[in-house]
Structure 1
C-alpha cells in the first residue's frame, strides 16, 4: 500500500524539479527513482522469492528415558518402517533424548538404523532439548520435518514453547504417542525426616506413596544399610500418606531409606527414596585397625576418657561419604594402603577436606612409606610425604622384577605401570633389572640414575607367559651376585601357572641372601596359588594376592619399601617438642621412643614433635576444612613400650584425637533440600534474630556430589531468617550439604549444619 503514496510523492517531486536534462533522461531518472523505492518497500515488507522445494529433511526424536524402556522396540520398529518409505533424495536424521539430547545419526540420504546406540541420561526426560537439537541439524534447503516419539512424561523444561517456536520457523512437527504398555504403577512420591535431631529424641518419618490400582505391597525402612522395619501394606488408587514414629539413632549423620515392592510397578527408580538426619551429641570416633588389636591402646585410652569409640577393620570404612559422615574423626592404626583401597582413601580424603572432619594416622610396620601410602589420596591428605629423609647413609638395594604376561583377562599396562612405580621409589644409588619371562633381562641391570629412560624401556617390553620361572630365577641370581648392593631382592609378578620344581633354585637364592617375594594375580586355581606361595616361602620373602590388578602398583611399592627397610628407624631417642600446641596441654616429661617410620614434612605442615634426626614424629595441619594429625611411631608397643605405660597415655591420645574434631553443628539451623527438574533447591531457616544485625552476612552451602565433586553456593535472603539457593543436581545419588552462616562481625559465632538429599 505504501507504493501508491510514495510513488505519487516521487512523481510530484520530479514534476516540480527543473533538471537541466533532455526529456528522455528526465523520464529515465523518474523510472529509476520509482524502481529504487519499490525495492526498498518490498524489502521492508519481507517479500521473498519462493522456489518450490521437493527434497524433504526429517529428524526423528526418540524419547528413550526410563519411562519408555518397554516401548524402545516399538520406537525402533516405527522409525525403521518410516525410513523404508523415504524417497531417494530425502534426508533422514535421528536424535535420542533423555535428560540430555544426543545425535544418534546425522542427517543424510544414506541411512542404516536398527536400534538406538546413544546413551543419554535416562533418569529424566527433556523433550525440549530433543526438539532444539533436531531443529539445529535439519538441512536448510529442504522441507523441514520433525517427528517426536514419546509418552509425554517430561520432567525437565516444557516442550510446548519449543513446539510453538518450531511452528514460527516453518518446521512441521508431528507427534507419535507411544502405546501404553502398563496398566498399573506404584511409586514413592516423597520421603521426609527432620534434618537435625538430638539424642533420644522421638520424631516422625513421613512417606507419600502412589498407586494407580489397588494392590498389595511390601514397604521396608532402612537405617543406614540395616533393615529396621518391614511390613505388608495395601495400596489404594491414588496417593496416600504414611507416618512412622522413630527414636533418634546414635550420634552422627545417618540416612533413612524406604523401598516399595509392588507387583505392578513401572519404573524401578520410583520405588526408592532416602532422607538424612544429623543427630547432635557427643562425638563418635571410628578406629580402624590394620590387624586385630593394633589399635587396642588407642581404644582403651579413648574409652578411659569417655569418648564414644567404634572399632573396625579396613573393610569397615564406608565406601560412601554420607555413611562415613556419622563419625567426627577417624583413627588409622598401622593400616596399609592396600587394605583400604583407593575408593576408601578417596572417601577419607573428602571426609576431611570437604566435610571438615578429622583424621589421625598412627604408624607401625605397615604404615606410611612401608604401608604403600606413596602417591595415594591418603598421602595427599597427610601433612607428610613418604620420601625418605637423606639424613644418613641408607643401604643400597638391587631389585630384579620378573614381570610375566597377565594374558588376555588383564591389560598388560597394569604390570608396566607397577614396574614404573617401583622405579620411582628407588634412589640413584640403587640398581634395577627387569625380566619379561624370557630367562634373560629385557632391561639390563643398571643404576637408577635416569628414571625417564628406564620408564621408556619398560613401555617397550613385551612380557610372555613362561613354562617355568627357574630360568628367570637363575639369571636374576647371577645378575644380583655381580652387584655391590647391600640388599638383593627379586619380585615375581605372575599368575602361577608355570609348574616346576622350585625348591633347589629358590632355596639357593635364599642361602645367598637374595630374598624372593611373589605377587599373584589372575590365578586360575588352587595349584597356581600354591606355586606362588611356595616360592615366597622358600625365598624368605612375602606372598601377595592381587585379584584386583589395580592394586598391583601399590603392592610392588610396599614390597620394595619393605625389602629396602629404609623407612624404619629403630633407634632410641627422646622426642623433642618443637613448639607449644593444644595437643600437648597438660603433658610434661614425654617418655622415650624406640623408633618410628621416616617421612618428610610438607611445607605447610606444623611440626609438634621431632626425632633426634629432626624427622617428624608428630605433624599436624589443616587440610581443607578438616584437621589431620600424623603420628609416625606406633601405638601397640613396638617402639612405644615406655609410652603405653605412661600415666598420661590416655590424656595424650584423647588430646590428639579431640584436636581433630570438627566444630559442633548448630542444631538451630534448619536445612531443607529438594530436587526439581534436575536442580537442587536449598532452603535454610536461621534462628530468630540471627540476621537482624547490620553489615554484610553470608550463608554459604558446600555441596559434595555422589562422585565427590564439590561446588559452593552463596545463598540469598528471601524472607526474614530465610536464605535460599539452587545448584545443578545432574547426577543420581546422595548429595551432602554443609551450610555455614557467618555474621557481619568477627565476634559473632559461626553457625554450621550438615544434611543431605538424594536424587533417585
Structure 2
C-alpha cells in the first residue's frame, strides 16, 4: 500500500531541515548533562532545546504554508483572420464549444478571438453548463487582413482570474503580421501562465497574393513617383493588375502579366505623376485570370502612402561677379509669378536639406570647382531622390568646359559633357609634374587630386604625368602623353605613382614641354602644365621658360606644405608669373584636402576646347509647347556660340545648332530622371 500525503507546507531552502537530525543527539547528551535534575524537569529541558532547534531549522528553510487550489482557468485564443480557410475555422469553433460544454463546475473557461484586433467573446465563466459553449458567438471580423496573435495573448493574460491554474490555448496558423508574440510569451512565462498551441494547418495548392506596393515615402510636387508592385503565386499563372492613385484608376501599359510561381516575387514597375502636395494613397489590386488559381481573395490587395511636399520656388545660383548680369532672367521669372531667389555659393550652404527647400535649382555658368565633393553628390541626389528640378545654363564655366565631366550631375543631365562621337574638335593637352611633398600624406592627396583632374577631362584631350624616380634614372613619364581614350587605365596607373624628391625643376619641365609640343603637332591647341611641389628643387633655366612662352604653354604651380618651413614659395610663384603672366596662378595649399578643387580649376585651361564660339541661329528640332512656345513662332535670335555636349538617348531636345555637315549640337534639352 502506498501512502500519499498532500502537505500544506513548502520550503524554499529545505537543506536547512538537516538541522533536525541534531535533536536525537541533544536528547542523548542531555541524559548525562542534566542527570542531577528531576526527571520531569529534565524532559522539559530536552523538549525546550529541541523546539528551539526545530524553529531555527524551519526559519532557515523558509517554511511557507500553501493553500492548494486544483481548479483550472483556461482562455481559448482563436485566430479569425482571413488567412484561415472557412472549413478550418469552423472545425476550430466546434472544438472550442465541445471543450467548454465539458468543463468541470469548479473550473473557469473563456474565449478571445482576434484578427487585427482582439475581442472577448466569452468572459471567464464557471463550467458545469453543457450549453455554455453553444452560446459563444465568435464575433465578426474587424480587420480580417491582419493577424495580431500577440494582441490576443495579451488580452487573455489580462482576463485570466487569479487563484487558479492558468492556461492559454492558442488556435492559429501562425501567420502574424502585426505585433510581437515573443514579448507576450515572455510576459506569460513570468506570470506562470502556460500556453498550449493547436496549429490550424491547411494547404492551398493554388494561390496568388499581392505581397506589397512600394512608393517613396516622400516626394516633391510636379514629379513622377516610381511605383513597384510585388506579386507572388504558388504556381505559374496569369493575373490582372489594377492600380489606383487617390481613388482614380492609373492607366497601365499592360494590366495583365505572368506571375513566376513557387512564391517567387514578380515585380511590376510603373510611375505616377503627382501635381499636388499632401498625402497620396496608392491602392493595388490583383485578380487571377483563372479563378481556380486563387483561394483567398483578401490577400490580393495592398496599399502604400507617399507624402508630397509643396516645395518652394526657384533658387538661382550664380558667381558673385555675375550677379548683376541676371537682371533680365530675374525680371522674366518674376513676370511669370515665379518665386525666385538669387544667391551665390558663398552666401548659401549648398547641401541636400537646403536644396530641398526649392522646387528648381538653376546653375548659372558655375564651374565644377565651385562645389566640393559632398555638394556635387547633393546636387545629383536632389534630382534623383528628392524629385527636384535642375537647370544648367551654358557658358565658359559650364558643362564640360567648366570641369563637370565625370561629376554626379552628368549622370542626371540629359547630355553627356564629354564629346566622344565628334571627330574634329579642338583638343587640349595637360602635363602634370608630381614632386614629393614633405607634409604628411601630401603625396597621397596629390595623387587623388590628379585622378580627380583626369575624370573631368574630355576623352579628346591629351594627358601626361611626369614624376621623379631614382630607380628609373630620374625624371620619367609615369603616364606617357597620349589621348585620354581609356580613362580607367590611366587612373589605375596614377594610383600607383612612385614620387621621389627631384633635385631640379628643369629636367622634368623640359620633358613636359616636349610632350606638350608633341601633342600640339597632333592637333592640340590649348597647352598647359600643372606643377605640384614643396618648392625646394632648383629653378628652371630661362631657356625653358622662354620656350614655354614662345609656344604659348602656360603653367600653374601648387605649393603644398606648411609655410616657409616646408614649402619654398618664391620659385613656384616665379614660374607661374613668367609663363602665365599672373602670379595668382600660384596656389598656396596649406590644407591638402582642397587639392582636388585646385587641380580641377586649373585643368579648365585645356577644357576651353569644348567651347564653340562660331555664331549661329538656333533651329527647332522637336516642337515642345512647354519650352519653345513663343520662341519658335518668330525669328530666332543669333547666338555667339555654345558649349559642346553629346545628347543622351530618350531625351527631349527642342532647340539645336545645325552644322553644315548636317550634324546637330544640343542647345536646349531636358528629360525626367528617376524622381526628378
Larger Rg: 2
* TM-score between the two structures when normalised by the length of structure 1: 0.42
More helix by share: 2
